[in-house]
Amino acid sequence: MLFSAIADLSKRKEAELVAVPFWEKPTPATPLKTLATVVKPPILAKDFTGKEGEISLLYPKGGKEKRLVLIGLGKESELSVDGLRRVYSTLVKFCLKKKLSKINLLLPNIVALRTITLEECLQGICEGVLLTNYQWNRKTTAKEKSHFLKHVTLVGTLPQTLGMVRPIEEVAEAVYLTRDLINENADVVTPHYLGEVALGLSKKFPAIKSTIFDKKRIEKEKMGLLLAVSQGAATEPRFIISRYEGNPRSKDHTLLVGKGVTFDSGGINLKPTGHIETMREDMSGAATVLGTLAAAAATNLKVNLTVVVPATENAVDAKSYKPGDIFTSYSGKTVEVVNTDAEGRLILADALSYAIKHLKPTRVIDLATLTGSMVVALGNGISGFFSNDVKLAKQLLDAGNSTSELLWQMPLHKPYKEGLKSDAADLKNCASGRAAGSITAALFLEEFVGKVAWAHIDIAGTAFIDKEFHYWPKSAVGFGVRLLVDFLKKISR
């Protein structure tokens, strides 16, 4: 998509639609000038009130656009970045239904407001537009093929402000990458494919260096848990390490680890119908950290960042690992497998142990579609997370609130570790019963992180949704990329 900007309303170029913002009551949120008489009829008729997301379509004569839309921003005093995201997401959906390609947006005049800056205003509007202007669609008929906005002109601001827009576009492109990886077929997005994506980012961005371990190297490193999960797969596992050095003078170093199960059948503990159909999404953690890596490099964040992805399929085969088997992890701890569908924590355990030992990060954040329990607890709008570090937890909560990729801190309740005790190994891979499944999964991971500042974000409910929600599309959301970019940006200051 192309963004352009023009300060003078009268000098705007022709488009298919112009959107005019209004506060609730309604009152214009921007000087209307020549458009003042055009917008009066629906207001006088009380057909338009300016409530958040409300749209009224007009067909003015002799203007530069065939369509004029009045769009409600809600109450002036309640204007927020996420409110703007929601409003302009609604507008984009309206435009896509009309199959429009080129529109003019009159920016609200926020000079008198103290609740939001120009940069935040642009962020809300542009993110609402960009995050909604995405479709995953393989339909072949002309009527049902995807249609996208191609050109948006921001009216009422100088062209120089586009410098604020470009980083927003780059982060949105990283969200698209994440969504595409999650949405694509599992027979396409294999462990090898994820490795190729990492290598592709290294070619695109010189500041990224990638190393890919094949099965032989994984065996050499004795990553017994990753190898166990991969036993039944037709495709070999990969262990991906990608480093972005944005601040060479600093020793500060953030490690992101993403679960990369490219399809999760559940293994011998096979998932039933109703749960297995979307399990290509089980590599959402991997897609999210790769998307974050791309965004960090594209926006030249002044941080040092390493992304690690243990990648495998959890398949059913005569060679598949089985309930009751005991394996030795990279850390040396032995783990009894009591459920082969609790595989994500196994591959993360090896990844965390290896990366912390060899890369010596300042802080570690892992992301995984780990437990159905988290979906039960928090639904599809909030991700639960766990942390052993108060400062890191607060930083992540702040980033979640800033981006509206919301987090809720869950307890690492130590007495629940009793459920992970095994008679024959150091640990079981999951506790008996369904109670506190997210907590016991996090406690299992904690066994492999040592004393480093660590957070585990369970994105099981937010990575992939069954119906659209504002600027979150149905299926892959790309949750976590904007959150992590915001987090990294703030710690770099």
Residues 34, 120: Cα–Cα separation, whole Å: 28
Q: Which amino acid is at 454?
A: W
Residues with Cβ within 8 Å of residue 149, at least 6 apart in sequence: 1, 92, 95, 96, 100, 101, 102, 103, 129, 133
Residues 32, 20: Cα–Cα separation, whole Å: 8
C-alpha 472, offset from chain centre: 10
Strands 383-387 and 15-23: unpaired
Task: Break the chain down into helix, strand, coil percent, rounded to 5.
Answer: 35, 20, 40
Q: In Å, how far are 104, 126, 445 from 16, measured between CA atoms? A: 8, 19, 53
- CB 58, CB 104: distance < 8 Å: no
DSSP code, position 62? S
Which is the catalytic residue, given 75, 271, 302, 474? Answer: 271
- CB 395, CB 304: distance < 8 Å: no
Active site residue 271: yes
Q: In DSSP terms, which residues pair with 154 in a beta bridge?
A: 5, 105
Structure tokens belonging to residue 165: 């827009």
| 3-class state of residue 361 by DSSP | coil
Residues 93, 147: Cα–Cα separation, whole Å: 11
- CB 11, CB 64: distance < 8 Å: no
Q: Nearest CA to 20 among 65, 61, 62, 81?
A: 65
Which is the catalytic residue, given 85, 238, 243, 345? Answer: 345
Q: What is the largest CA-CA distance in the chain?
A: 82
Residues with Cβ within 8 Å of residue 266, at least 6 apart in sequence: 276, 314, 316, 340, 341
- CB 128, CB 86: distance < 8 Å: yes
Q: In Å, how far are 192, 347, 355, 363, 388 from 453, measured between CA atoms? A: 30, 20, 13, 5, 6
Residue numbers annotated as active site: 271, 345
